[in-house]
Chains A and B, each alone.
Chain A
Amino acid sequence: MYQYIIRRILVFIPMLLALSIIVFGLAKAAPGDPLSGKIVDPNIDLAVYEQQREALGLNKSIPVQYFNWASSVARGDFGESIAYKGRSVQSLITERIVNTLYLGLVALGITLVVAIPIGIYSARNPYSPLDYGATTFGFFGLATPNFFFGLVAIYLLSINLGWFPAQGTTSSTGLSGFAEFKDRIHHMVLPGLTLGLAGTATYMRYMRSEVLDVLGSDYIRTAKAKGMSDRNVLYKHTLRNAMIPIITLMGFEFGALLSGAIITEQVFNFPGLGTLFLSSITNHDYPVIMAIALLLGVAILIGNLLADIFYSIVDPRIRYD
């Protein structure tokens, strides 16, 4: 098992290498560089721009630029942001990542708390009014784009009803302790709902079909024939089996939440990793783009690894030797 995990982690290295080459290539393929596209200040000589380009190494060939970047990353140095002058990439990311992680946790929490009980209920009472309602909501959730749901939520719940703030992470800096925590959660509700919407719909559908499938299986009939109570049949015999495919989904969810946050954060003007990523792309801030892309890659790889590890814990038929 441990050998398996170590082997899997070693495979991360070539995958991340490939990922970084692709992302770097794509970023460079976009026209322009960090100094282009700005309103030309008549007081600055155009030669100064060229000097800057020279200083930043932007005139070298793309492979050379990539190699320079990669070799400093290998030494643990992600460099300095070009757009935010004088700030290291690490400090920018650590400042933002906490917000995004909290947002992701809230979204995941909403997803699981809503989707799993409803999915189980739907499976136990198929074709009941609530099941039809949940199915309708499921398709609605899957079909509605994140940004659109976010905008509607802001319009209805924030502007019209005034229940939740429409943007940011806190309303004032003067709060502390529990009041601050409450304020942050309050700000997190709408983006959390928006980010969790698609996930909630997906999990609900999966949970319904899995539980329905397991409830029809022979071993559930055996458990019932042994005289096990409904509770025991559901919680012991059904759920553990039904959770096996859900775990795969959760593995992807890890990365999906982070990348899904890119759009959601933009809608709510939420100072997280997603807004930083988007602004870095428009600014051609290569060091930041590359660092965040790698981070997303690592998140997805770790998510899948965790899913595989949980697999072997839940399902004794799976062994990694």
Chain B
Amino acid sequence: MNNQPVLDVSQLKTYFYLGENRVAKAVDNISFSIFPGETVALVGESGSGKSITALSIMQLINKPGRIVDGTITMNDQKLLELKPKQMTNIRGNDIAMIFQEPMTALNPVYTIGSQITEILRKHKKMNKKDAHQEAIELLKVVGIPRPKEILKEYPHQLSGGMRQRVMIAMAISCEPQLLIADEPTTALDVTIQAQILDLMAEMQKKFQMSLLLITHDLGVVYEYTDRVMVMYGGQIVEQAATKELLKLTKHPYTQGLLASLPNLDEDVERLGTIKGTVPPAYSFPHGCRFSSRCPYVMEKCTQSNPELREYDTGHFVRCYLYENGGSIK
């Protein structure tokens, strides 16, 4: 693996200013790198800050949210220092993004063709005719039958799976170095989910992209990703190579996530759950943010928030349990 990361995020903070002195720290001091050709999973419950992290990279945070601090570096370019107009040349071109809801992610009043060609014309400076030709090729690549006719159709005439294929076609159209997929299959039928994920894996190989896959499906994580980052309360709580993380799970939160999955080998009455819900981002507990739900909570946990530390090679955990060579189980 190349040592120069495609994307480097360092100490990123994205806060939402909700008024009355309430600040939601949706992303709070996150650092990570993504290397060429790598597939990285970003895992966590709803409200853990996964999507906000992705949107922060794209700089698509809407008010009252704001990127408060940190650096995002891509090809030695500090993205947060770019002017808004320069950033439009990065989006869709160097970093592309696919969203969760294919049903609403395409503009209902324009044809598929119009929506694919506009990105080609913007970033690749193609003329109308070439862009049209290229759009047909792209639709073929993502496995859409009758591409010529589909270009003339409107989003409402396509199924959810087809629309997500169109989204992928748009995302890969400018051969980005990084593709961010924010729960790309959550809204799709189970049978279509695997097709779309396989297609993304295929595209990733073909165009040698890096992929940041946001998901809460640990099955998907196991099958498709090289490395996992687990997010909780706007912070990364555990990070490791996929196989390592799933086998030698360290953080109690990650263990809770895994325990909530059905396992065919074991006969259990009830699946495991993590008690409680993610606390709102404007009122995290003092100390470790997971302390209010953690089964192993100690006094220390409620007093200060542990650092993200490397306990095994490449295996980072934010938990006091492992501080003095300790372990659980």
Nearest A residue (CB) for B123: A227
Given A226-B119, A226-B122: A241 in contact with B62 (beta carbons within 8 A) = no
Which B residues between 36 and 90 are near A, CB-CB below 8 angstroms?
A: 58, 60, 62, 84-85, 88-90
Complex: how many Å from CA A232 to CA B110?
A: 13
Is A315 part of the contact surface with B, judged by Cβ < 8 Å? yes
A residues within 8 A CB of B97?
225
Which 8 pairs show the lowest CB-CB distances between chains A and B? A227-B92, A227-B91, A226-B92, A218-B104, A219-B107, A225-B97, A316-B154, A226-B119
A residues within 8 A CB of B118?
226, 228, 232, 236
**Do residues A223 and B170 form an inter-chain contact, with CB atoms below 8 A?**
no
Contact of A225 among B62, B91, B104 (CB under 8 A): B91
Is B144 part of the contact surface with A, judged by Cβ < 8 Å? no
**Do residues A317 and B88 form an inter-chain contact, with CB atoms below 8 A?**
no
**Do residues B105 and A222 form an inter-chain contact, with CB atoms below 8 A?**
yes
A residues within 8 A CB of B96?
225-226
What distance in Å separates the Cβ of B281 from its nearest Cβ neighbour in chain A?
20
Which A residues between 181 and 226 are near B, CB-CB below 8 angstroms?
A: 216-219, 221-226
B residues within 8 A CB of A216?
62
**Do residues A222 and B107 form an inter-chain contact, with CB atoms below 8 A?**
yes
Is B35 part of the contact surface with A, judged by Cβ < 8 Å? no
**Do residues B119 and A218 form an inter-chain contact, with CB atoms below 8 A?**
no
**Do residues B105 and A219 form an inter-chain contact, with CB atoms below 8 A?**
yes
Complex: how many Å from CA A237 to CA B107?
A: 7
Given A227-B92, A227-B93, A227-B119: A221 in contact with B109 (beta carbons within 8 A) = no
What distance in Å separates the Cβ of B16 from its nearest Cβ neighbour in chain A?
15
1/0 per residue, CB under 8 A from A, across B89-131: the answer is 1111100110101001111111100000011001100000000
Nearest B residue (CB) for A219: B107
A residues within 8 A CB of B106?
219, 222
Q: How many residue pairs bridge A and B at CB < 8 Å?
A: 78
Complex: how many Å from CA A241 to CA B107?
A: 9
B residues within 8 A CB of A222?
99, 105-107, 167, 170
**Do residues B90 and A227 form an inter-chain contact, with CB atoms below 8 A?**
yes
**Do residues B92 and A225 form an inter-chain contact, with CB atoms below 8 A?**
yes
Complex: how many Å from CA A56 to CA B156?
A: 61
Contact of B109 among A223, A226, A316 (CB under 8 A): A316
Main secondary structure of the interface of A (DSSP, over half): helix
1/0 per residue, CB under 8 A from A, across B127-158: the answer is 00000000000000000000000000010100
Complex: how many Å from CA A229 to CA B99?
A: 19
Complex: how many Å from CA A236 to CA B167?
A: 18
B residues within 8 A CB of A219?
104-108
A residues within 8 A CB of B101?
218
Nearest A residue (CB) for B170: A226
Which B residues between 158 and 192 are near A, CB-CB below 8 angstroms?
A: 167, 170
Is A64 part of the contact surface with B, judged by Cβ < 8 Å? no
A sample of 7 cross-chain residue pairs with beta-carbon separation below 8 angstroms, ordered by A number, consists of: A219-B105, A222-B107, A224-B91, A225-B96, A236-B110, A316-B154, A317-B154
What distance in Å separates the Cβ of B157 from its nearest Cβ neighbour in chain A?
9
What is the total number of residues of chain B having a CB less than 8 Å from a CB of chain A? 31
What is the total number of residues of chain A having a CB less than 8 Å from a CB of chain B? 23
Is A142 part of the contact surface with B, judged by Cβ < 8 Å? no
**Do residues B60 and A224 form an inter-chain contact, with CB atoms below 8 A?**
yes
Nearest B residue (CB) for A238: B107
Contact of B156 among A217, A221, A224, A317 (CB under 8 A): A317
Complex: how many Å from CA A229 to CA B83?
A: 12
Given A221-B99, A224-B60, A232-B118: A315 in contact with B109 (beta carbons within 8 A) = yes
B residues within 8 A CB of A221?
60, 99, 105
**Do residues B104 and A316 form an inter-chain contact, with CB atoms below 8 A?**
no
Which A residues between 240 and 258 are near B, CB-CB below 8 angstroms?
A: 240-241
A residues within 8 A CB of B154?
316-317
Contact of A217 among B92, B93, B104, B111 (CB under 8 A): B104
Complex: how many Å from CA A227 to CA B170?
A: 11
Nearest B residue (CB) for A233: B88
A residues within 8 A CB of B104?
217-219
A residues within 8 A CB of B110?
236-237, 240
**Do residues B156 and A229 form an inter-chain contact, with CB atoms below 8 A?**
no
**Do residues A223 and B107 form an inter-chain contact, with CB atoms below 8 A?**
yes
Complex: how many Å from CA A232 to CA B85?
A: 12
Complex: how many Å from CA A217 to CA B92?
A: 18
Given A232-B118, A316-B156, A317-B156: A225 in contact with B108 (beta carbons within 8 A) = no
Complex: how many Å from CA A226 to CA B97?
A: 8
Complex: how many Å from CA A267 to CA B170?
A: 59
B residues within 8 A CB of A17?
none
Complex: how many Å from CA A316 to CA B156?
A: 9
**Do residues B156 and A225 form an inter-chain contact, with CB atoms below 8 A?**
no
Which B residues between 193 and 226 are near A, CB-CB below 8 angstroms?
A: none
What distance in Å separates the Cβ of A222 from its nearest Cβ neighbour in chain B?
5
Given contacts A218-B99, A226-B170, list 6 more A-B pairs with CB under 8 A: A222-B99, A226-B118, A227-B88, A229-B88, A316-B109, A317-B154
